[in-house]
Amino acid sequence: MASRWTGSWLSGPGAAQEPGADDEQQRWRGERLGLPQDGPDAVAGWGRRAVALLIDWVPCALVAEFLTQNPATSALALFAVYVTLAVAFTGRTVGKAAVGLRVARVADRGRPPVGAAVIRAVLTCLVIPPVVYDKDGRGLHDRAVGTVVLRTR
C-alpha cells in the first residue's frame, strides 16, 4: 500500500487518476468528464486561473494590511471567507468572473453547495492542493469536493 501511495504523488499529476483512467488516451483536459475542448464549459487554463487568483487576493491583502494587526493571517482568513461565500452563492468570485471562469460541480455543472465551497476554500489556502492536479486540470481541492473550474466564454 505504501509504494502505491508514494507512486501516486511521486509519479506526477497524471498518476492521480482513478483506476483505469489510463486505459484510453485522453485528447484534451475534461474529455473524460464530458466537457468540450474549447469555449464555454471547457476546463479553464492555468493562466486565467492565476489572473483570477491575483484579482481576488490583492483586495483581501490590502484590506488586511490596513485594517488588522496581523495582515498575513487576516488576509488568508478574509480570502477564505470571501471565496467560500462567492463560490457557494454565485459559483464564481469577482476575479473568476473578470476572466470568464466559474466553479461547477462535475455531476451536474451547478454551483457547489456551501459545505463543498468551505472545504474547497480551505484547501486552496493550503496552496498545495491547487498545484497538484490531474489530467483533467482539476486540483486536489476540486477533486476533494467534486468540482471543476470551467470557462464561461
Please give the grid coordinates belonging to residue 61: 491583502
C-alpha distance from residue 121 to each of 2, 37, 68 (Å): 29, 27, 21
Tens-place pLDDT, residues 87-111: 999 999 999 999 999 999 999 999 9
Between 125 and 4, name the one with better pLDDT: 125
- Residue of 125, 142, 138 whose CA lies nearest to 60: 125
107 close to 131: Cβ distance less than 8 angstroms: no
pLDDT digits 0-9 by tens, 21-53: 555 688 999 999 999 999 999 999 999 999 999
Q: What residue spans define the domains of the chain?
A: 40-151
Strands (E), 31-129: 101-105
